[in-house]
Amino acid sequence: MLENSKKKSIILGFVAFILLTVFDQLTKLWAVNTLKDKEALVIIEGVFKLRYLENNGAAFSLLEGQQMFFFIITVAMLILFAVIFYKIPMGDRYRYLRWICVFLEAGALGNLIDRMRLEYVVDFFYFELIDFPTFNVADIYITVSMFFFVVLILFYYKEDEFDFLKRKKIKA
C-alpha cells in the first residue's frame, strides 16, 4: 500500500500534468483562432512575434511527416517518465525531479495530442532577432525541464542518488 505522502505526490503530479496539458492546448487553440491565415502579431519589433506555423516534424522540423515514429516514441517516453515519477523517492531532495517529470510528460502529451488530432503540431512563438525556430508552450515545458535536469545532474545530485532507478534483484 502506498504511503500518504506518495499518494499526495502522485495526485498533485497528475493534477499538475492535466492542468499544464490543458494550458498548452488552450494556447494552441488561441493561436489557431487568432493567428492562422493572418499576419504575425508583433510583440517587440524585430525581436519577438507570434506567428502561426504547422510543424510536421520535431524540433527544428526534423523528421517531417514521421507521425507513427513520433507516436511510438512519445508513448514510450510517457510510460518511461510515469514509471520514473512513481519510483522517485519522497523527500524534498527529489522534489525537482518529480516536477521535471510532470513538465516533460505535459509537454510530450501536448504535442502528441496535436499530432494525433491534426497530424502536425501548432507552433506560434518566434524570436525573429535570432531567427529561432517557431515553438509552442509544450516545447517550453520540455526544453526548460531538460535544461534543469542537466543542471541538477551536473551540480546537485550525486550518482548514487539515482539508485532508485536500478532494477531490484529478485532473490530466488
**For residue range 9-20, what is the model confidence (pLDDT) as tens digits?**
999 999 999 999
Residue 65 lies in a domain: yes
pLDDT at res. 128: 94
Does residue 136 sit within a domain?
Answer: yes
What residue type is assigned to position 139 of the chain? Answer: D
Ranges under pLDDT 50 in the chain? none
The grid cell for 137 is: 508552450
Residues recognised as catalytic: 123, 139
Would 162 be classed as within a structural domain? no
For residue 80, the cross-strand partners are none
The total number of structural domains that make up the chain: 1
- The pLDDT, as a whole number, for residue 69 is 82
CA distance 35 to 41: 7
Cell of 119: 497530424
In a domain, 25, yes or no: yes
Is 160 a domain residue? Answer: no
Residue 116 CB neighbours (<10 A): 12
In this structure, is residue 62 part of a structural domain?
yes
What is the model's pTM? Answer: 0.86
N-terminal to C-terminal alpha carbon distance within the chain: 24
Residue 172 falls within a domain, yes or no? no
91 in a structural domain? yes
**Domain encompassing residue 104:** 4-152
Give pLDDT tens digits for 45-71: 999 999 999 988 765 556 666 778 888
